[in-house]
């Protein structure tokens, strides 16, 4: 295809006539397709997140995959928890200076003093105007790092209090506001705040308590781990959802890609061989494909993994093994139309072997449809993996995938809707991006619609 790029270059008559290759042309088309480019962008972003999981976990979310913060579960998005592995220390100054934390002045910081220090920290965070009192606005906008109601005598939990909250003029619904002045002092609100449970406080204590005397002495005290935001909340075991989602991206994308690779290998070899050899071999090979088309493979896979247990390798081999049929048909059709052309004749004349012709000459020329179908296979496989994981038959703990997260989210959708919303959104957005990308690639590479 010759594209005399003269118009774009201001009509310079001396311009050379430059040819564009099929691929360049296709890429130009793809770039014009906004939905496909957005899809490409999103997929790239997801892939970067998946690859960067260790960095994201250790320095952005600062939670590890399995650490549980069980005091208040599940926590909604925006709450805080104290990470136990990738924490950053808050320097021992101001309210966290040793003498301020050691409230009873015995020279040691005890478990309950650690708890109290975190209460005060969280109170200061919620108290945005810093007047030491919580007003209605601060109360309503507070991130919920709060103790479950059974820990707070005579005072409902934030959630309940919020839900029954009347308009600002009726301040009496401040259920924890003992003196009913419309403001909550730390003494009242502190009871509600539970950033760390007693056992978490003990763990933090033990981490810094070098001489195991159940107290942090002034020499041992270097500050306390900084609470971090659970940006997407936590799941029912108090694990940071964002961290798990990023890890899930890793597994979901990996299974999608590897299973697609398996299907690509089988489908391309099968289709190319059948198409090239033709005759009886073709007939038998394609009849096998026809027969397999009518089989309920998903059901057989459920059977397989429920009997033998699911291993991630079994999973992507099995998923790949059921996705190759269409690929085989597409490649066969391409090869049949290509094999009569002169370049194949020429290759045969110079003595290239049959596998050589198939893999070096025919398949590269059939690459367009192969790429398009591969792009569309990835979301299909990801969906199947998610489907199996959702039934509890796919990815098993300690690994997790978007499907497994959605499954957990479904169990707690009444109390923690953010789990299924976040994991479902991640899955749906990625699938949609891959589908848009695949459609865009098809429009860009398919010669039938290449006329614009």
Partner 1 sequence: MSRFIIKRLFGSVFVLLTIVTLALWITRMAPSNPCLKERATNTCGCIAVHKLDRPVFPVYLSVPLEPVAACDAWEPVSEFSVGPVHILTAGWGDTQYFHYVDQLLHGSLGDSMKTDRSVLETLSSALPYTLQLGLQALFVALLIGVPAGLYAGLRQNTMADYSTMTLAMVGVSIPNFVLGPLLIMFFALDLGWFRPNGWDSWMDSVLPSITLGLYYAAYIARLTRGGMLEVIRKDFIRTARAKGLTEHAVVITHAMRGAILPVVSYMGPAVAALLAGSVVVEEIFNLPGVGKLFVRAALNRDYNMVLGTVILYSTVLVFLNLLVDILYTVIDPRVNYD
Element (H, E) at 75: none
> Are the CB atoms for 385 and 256 separated by under 8 Å?
yes
CB of 214 to partner 1, least distance (A): 46
Q: How would you classify the pairing of strands 18-19 and 108-109?
A: unpaired
295 binds partner 1 (CB under 8 A): yes
Contact positions with partner 1 (CB under 8 A) in 303-322:
303-304, 306-308
Q: Which long-range contacts (CB under 8 A, 24 or more apart) does 406-410 make?
A: 408/235, 408/236, 409/235
CB of 145 to partner 1, least distance (A): 24
410 binds partner 1 (CB under 8 A): yes
**How far apart (Å, rounded) are the C-alpha atoms in residues 364 and 368?**
8
- Interface region with partner 1, contact rule CB under 8 A, candidates 108-116, 222-230, 358-366, 382-390: 382-390
114 binds partner 1 (CB under 8 A): no
**How far apart (Å, rounded) are the C-alpha atoms in residues 79 and 418?**
13
Of 13 and 307, nearer to partner 1 (C-beta) is 307
- Site map for partner 1, 16-55, x if CB under 8 A? -------------------x--------------------
Tell which one of 47, 65, 133, 421 touches partner 1 (CB under 8 A).
421
296 binds partner 1 (CB under 8 A): yes
Of 34 and 88, nearer to partner 1 (C-beta) is 34
Partnered with residue 224 across adjacent β-strands are 90
Neighbours of 102 (CB within 10 A): 20
- Interface region with partner 1, contact rule CB under 8 A, candidates 152-160, 294-302, 312-320, 337-345: 294-302
Determine the size of the site formed for partner 1 (CB under 8 A).
Answer: 43
Of 60 and 432, nearer to partner 1 (C-beta) is 432
**How far apart (Å, rounded) are the C-alpha atoms in residues 311 and 337?**
40
Residue 176 backbone zone (phi > 0: left; psi -120 to 50: alpha; other: beta): alpha
- Interface region with partner 1, contact rule CB under 8 A, candidates 66-74, 88-96, 137-145, 404-412: 404-412
390 binds partner 1 (CB under 8 A): yes
Helices (H) and strands (E) in the chain, counts: 20, 10
Residue at token pair 């009913």 = 180
447 binds partner 1 (CB under 8 A): no
Element (H, E) at 133: strand 133-134
424 binds partner 1 (CB under 8 A): yes
CB of 170 to partner 1, least distance (A): 25
**How far apart (Å, rounded) are the C-alpha atoms in residues 74 and 157?**
14
446 binds partner 1 (CB under 8 A): no
Of 229 and 380, nearer to partner 1 (C-beta) is 380
The CA-based diameter of the chain, rounded to the nearest angstrom, is 99
In three-state form (DSSP H/G/I as H, E/B as E, the rest C), the secondary structure along 147-199 is CCHHHCCCCCCHHHHHHCCCCCCCHHHCCCCCCCCCCEEHHHHCCCECCCCHH
User: Which residues are near partner 1 by CB under 8 A?
Assistant: 35, 291, 293-296, 298-300, 302-304, 306-308, 379, 383, 386-387, 390-393, 403, 406-407, 409-410, 413-414, 417, 420-421, 423-424, 427-429, 431-432, 435-436, 439
């Amino acid at each position: 295809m010759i594209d005399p790029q003269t118009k774009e270059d201001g009509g310079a008559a001396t311009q050379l006539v430059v040819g564009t290759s099929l691929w360049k042309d296709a890429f130009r088309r793809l770039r014009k397709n906004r939905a496909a480019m957005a899809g490409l962008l999103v997929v790239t972003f997801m892939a970067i997140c998946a690859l960067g999981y260790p960095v994201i976990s250790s320095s952005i979310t600062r939670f590890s995959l399995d650490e549980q913060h069980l005091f208040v579960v599940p926590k909604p998005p925006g709450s805080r928890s104290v990470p136990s592995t990738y924490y950053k220390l808050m320097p021992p100054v101001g309210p966290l200076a040793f003498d301020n934390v050691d409230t009873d002045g015995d020279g040691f910081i005890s478990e309950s003093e650690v708890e109290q220090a975190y209460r005060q920290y969280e109170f200061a965070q919620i108290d945005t105007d810093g007047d030491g009192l919580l007003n209605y606005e601060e109360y309503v906008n507070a991130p919920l790092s709060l103790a479950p109601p059974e820990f707070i005598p005579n005072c409902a939990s934030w959630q309940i209090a919020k839900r029954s909250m009347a308009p600002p003029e009726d301040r009496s619904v401040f259920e924890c506001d003992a003196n009913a002045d419309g403001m909550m002092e730390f003494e009242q609100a502190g009871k509600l705040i539970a950033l760390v449970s007693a056992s978490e406080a003990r763990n933090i204590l033990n981490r810094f308590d070098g001489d195991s005397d159940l107290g942090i002495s002034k020499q041992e005290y270097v500050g306390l781990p900084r609470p971090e935001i659970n940006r997407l909340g936590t799941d029912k075991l108090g694990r940071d959802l964002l961290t798990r989602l990023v890890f899930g991206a890793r597994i979901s994308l990996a299974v999608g890609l590897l299973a697609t690779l398996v299907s690509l290998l089988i489908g391309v070899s099968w289709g190319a061989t059948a198409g090239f050899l033709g005759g009886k071999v073709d007939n038998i090979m394609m009849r096998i494909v026809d027969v397999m088309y009518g089989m309920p493979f998903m059901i057989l896979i459920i059977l397989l993994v429920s009997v033998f247990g699911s291993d991630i390798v079994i999973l992507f081999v099995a998923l790949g093994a059921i996705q190759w049929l269409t690929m085989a048909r597409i490649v066969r059709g391409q090869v049949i139309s290509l094999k009569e052309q002169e370049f194949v004749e020429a290759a045969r004349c110079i003595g290239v072997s049959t596998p050589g012709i198939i893999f070096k000459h025919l398949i590269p020329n059939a690459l367009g449809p192969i790429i398009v179908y591969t792009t569309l296979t990835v979301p299909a496989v990801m969906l199947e993996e998610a489907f199996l994981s959702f039934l509890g038959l796919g990815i098993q703990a300690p690994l997790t995938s978007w499907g497994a997260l959605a499954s957990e989210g479904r169990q707690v959708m009444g109390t923690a809707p953010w789990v299924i919303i976040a994991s479902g959104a991640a899955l749906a957005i990625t699938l949609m991006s891959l589908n848009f990308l695949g459609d865009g690639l098809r429009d860009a590479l398919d010669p039938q619609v290449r006329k614009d």
